[in-house]
Structure 1
């Protein structure tokens, strides 16, 4: 049996799963949702529990009844005693459109703890918001951070929580140990099965399979797009614009589609966890807009789609190492200069492959303009420059 490797999100999940509310784990296909569900299911001491995967067509028949009382009876036939506290774990719930209302009925009528997962936040967050107001807690799961990447490779690394500590503890010895590993992380991303594969060809084949599955399952079943090829063209176009503001008009012209369709496609890509938007510091609105910057949720997929510059891949990887722990925005001066990331409105980070003193001086001016007192460069090439953190120490 494969050994379970803990995930960063579990500190949050451990608290949430203990609550009565429906626990919803969302994230892109094959980021580890099923593994997490299985882990928590096995930890439930009660025998009055059931685990279901709705990718199985036969399993979906349990929830095909119009009369929800009959669904309760079907669950009883599967071994659930609805007269007692019970636990039902359901994987890939987006395959049944009315699942939110089914869960609402069962949640209200019986003492059932639901832990469910799905691959589309658009479906889960919108439909569950309508049906389960006050009855749900949603958790996003992403591909592995670099710390998780090391865990999956069996490499133990200590981390400083404070940025001042990250800045102070860097060393050339650490650089020799982790630089090549971080470059592997940049190029192949953080899907667990890709990280665990030893052969480069196998890693690339797995990434191709993940992308093909996305188009064949998520795009084909969750979207109502007549021209799926435009989604692929958009993704290829986006690989050249990682970390940049979204220019809707330019994208529309390049793809020969209307602006409204660009908004629709981008919203779908974000809701299915292929890309993630961050707003400008002055705005709290994270909807698709011309002020948003975007990143891919996995650098391996971005590289697979098209040639991506080393700087863009590196900046994207840094973003994904921060996404669990911070509210992330970016800052732009009136003259157009940017600070790549503002964390919790209090820490400024500028990402550079090879940090230099001029980069630090520019960052200082921009953080002063933004009213940010704590700031650092994040580098890949080892540097002893003041206020510089190596990416593997994030």
Structure 2
């Protein structure tokens, strides 16, 4: 049974814990409602000593922070060290300068801050924070965090399987699967509803849908309209729906411009907003041959599939969808995206394509995503013959096995290993 008011552990907490005693500021950026405030409050609750949590959505506090930031510290600081938590820092004008002033003037103040726009942080905050801050990104729950909330026992098994998947990329044998149907059932739920914390906390499909629609509505209202000042909201939403339909496909800005009847530059502007507010990611191609391999065109992926499905208002169960192949590919991207690997895709001018290329040190590992077990396609053979990797991966819903292509070992891995 899920506990509505329970605060579930995030994997990033271990990294943050190592930095609590250091002088530098700690910044957490991420999309709206992924749990930034909850994470800050959890850190706040775990700190013994003088501390203060400041909500910068409150106009009076925000104005005081803008006009005289030293007064904020004076108000909350007594003798000794103060842990100061600033939530939604992007709401403050000249936030970077404000943070720098506090940091420089109060060596015994440890600042934590959160923000919802990476563009705002990049332009107005980070230039003042060089050498002064550690910045972390928080996303919606990945599959492991989702399992930790739903079934801690399965989460422990997942970690073992995931570790064996990582070792397989170094040439070791992966562990065979277990509890396949339970993993598969939870994976299919995750593929439809994604990993927003409030979505995970309810068992009701109806409430999950309602929460996701509300998150989307608030994003359009507060981020797109109020913060970025976009006036052609209908065009922006049309673009977002078109991207959702073309999920896991190559992106053509000129095609989008023509279909939506808006300028090339306007499409670029809207895409930048979507990237910097953590809605989409544009995956760049891998290439070494300047003639036969694509070098520029990115592929489009969503950072949360629940929100992607809310944009389309399509919460049909996984087994009955026409887009389930794209959903599975996007899931694999999402899991690899937050891993330690550098990730690209590969496509030739002859349209041979590999979904993902992992780059680890000097090694290349091609990964192809298939709904069901099939023989590797011509592109797989082409890449292996050209680059001669030691290991290649085929990710499917539930298949497990091993093949050989020349000297390359090809592992078939269930998606719930990732």
Of 343, 348, 359, which aligns to 2:358?
343
Alignment of 1:137 with 2:154, yes or no, is: no
SS of residue in 2 equivalent to 1:277: strand
Residue deviations 1:290-330, cap 9 Å, x none? 52212111111111222571111111111111222122111
Of the three residues 309, 321, 332, the one matched with 1:303 is: 309
1:17 Cα offset (Å): 4.0
Deviation string, structure 1 residues 26-56 (Cα, Å, up to 9, x no partner) = 111111111110111122222x211112122
Q: Distance in 1 between matches of 2:269 and 2:261?
A: 15
Name the residue aligned to 2:26: 23
Q: Which residue of 2 aligns with 1:188?
A: 193
The 10-residue stretch of structure 1 (321-330 or 380-389) with the greater mean CA deviation from structure 2: 380-389
Q: Which whole-Å CA distance do the structure 1 matches of 2:95 and 2:62 have between them?
A: 10
Task: Please list every run of at least 4 consecutive aligned residues from structure 1 whose deviation after the TM superposition is greater than 4 angstroms.
Answer: 164-167
Distance in 2 (CA, whole Å) between partners of 1:338 and 1:14 is 41
1:47-66 maps to which residues of 2 (within 5 A)? 48-65=50-67
Matched residue of 1:168: which SS? coil
Measured in 2, the distance between the counterparts of 1:84 and 1:354 equals: 61
Aligned length: 380
* Structure 1 segment 120-199 matched on structure 2, within 5 A: 120-156=117-153, 157=155, 158=157, 159=159, 160-163=162-165, 168-171=174-177, 173-199=178-204
Counterpart CA distance in 1 for 2:47 and 2:385 is 51
User: Partner of 1:352 in structure 2?
Assistant: 370
Give, in whole Å, the separation in 2 of the partners of 1:164 and 1:50. 41
2:228 alignment partner in structure 1: 223
Partners in 1 of 2:91 and 2:353 — Cα distance? 42
Q: Secondary structure, in 3 states, of the residue corresponding to 2:152?
A: coil
- Runs of at least 5 residues in structure 2 that lack an aligned partner in the other structure: 289-294, 315-321, 404-410
* 1:321 aligned partner: 335
Q: Could you say if the C-alpha distance between residues 367 and 271 of structure 1 is closer, same or farther in structure 2, counting changes exceeding 3 Å? A: farther
Match 1:115 to one of 108, 112, 116: 112
Q: Per-residue deviation at 1:385?
A: 5.2
Note closer, same or farther for the CA distance 1:73–1:358 as it changes in structure 2 (3 Å cut): closer
1:275 equivalenced with 2:270 (yes/no):
no
Unaligned stretches of 5+ residues in structure 1: 284-288
Q: CA deviation at 1:254?
A: 0.8
Distance 2:97 2:284 in 1: 33
Distance in 1 of aligned mates of 2:286 and 2:32: 31
Distance 1:273 1:164 in 2: 26
What is the distance in 2 between the residues matched to 1:364 and 1:162? 25
Deviations for 1:337-367, whole angstroms, at most 9, x for unmatched residues? 12111223532211111121234x7424323
**Normalising by the residue count of structure 1, what TM-score does the alignment of the two structures yield?**
0.90
Number of the residue aligned with 1:392: 416
* Aligned counterparts of 2:232 and 2:296: Cα–Cα separation in 1: 24
- Asked whether the 8 Å contact 1:179–1:380 carries over to 2, the reply is yes
Please say if residues 245 and 290 of structure 1, whose CA atoms lie closer than 8 Å, have aligned partners that are also in contact: no
Deviations 1:119-168 (A, max 9, x none): 10000122223222221221111111111111111332322424265663
CA distance in 2, matches of 1:370, 1:18: 46
Give me the whole-angstrom Cα distance separating, in 1, the residues matched to 2:307 and 2:210: 11
Cross-structure match for 1:286: none
- Residue pair 1:357, 1:385 contacting (<8 A) in 2 also: no
3-state SS in 2 of match to 1:358: coil
User: Structure 1 368/140 Cα, relative in aligned 2: closer, same or farther at 3 Å?
Assistant: farther
Name the SS of the counterpart of 1:161 in structure 2. Answer: helix
User: Matched residues in 1 for 2:95 and 2:359: separation?
Assistant: 35
Taking the aligned partners of 1:17 and 1:278, their CA distance within structure 2 comes to 34
Aligned counterpart in structure 1 of residue 99 of structure 2, from 67, 91, 103: 103
- Aligned partners of 1:109 and 1:84: how far apart in 2? 14
Residues 60 and 186 (structure 1), Cα distance of their counterparts in 2 relative to 1, 3 Å cut: same
Shift of 1:6: 1.6
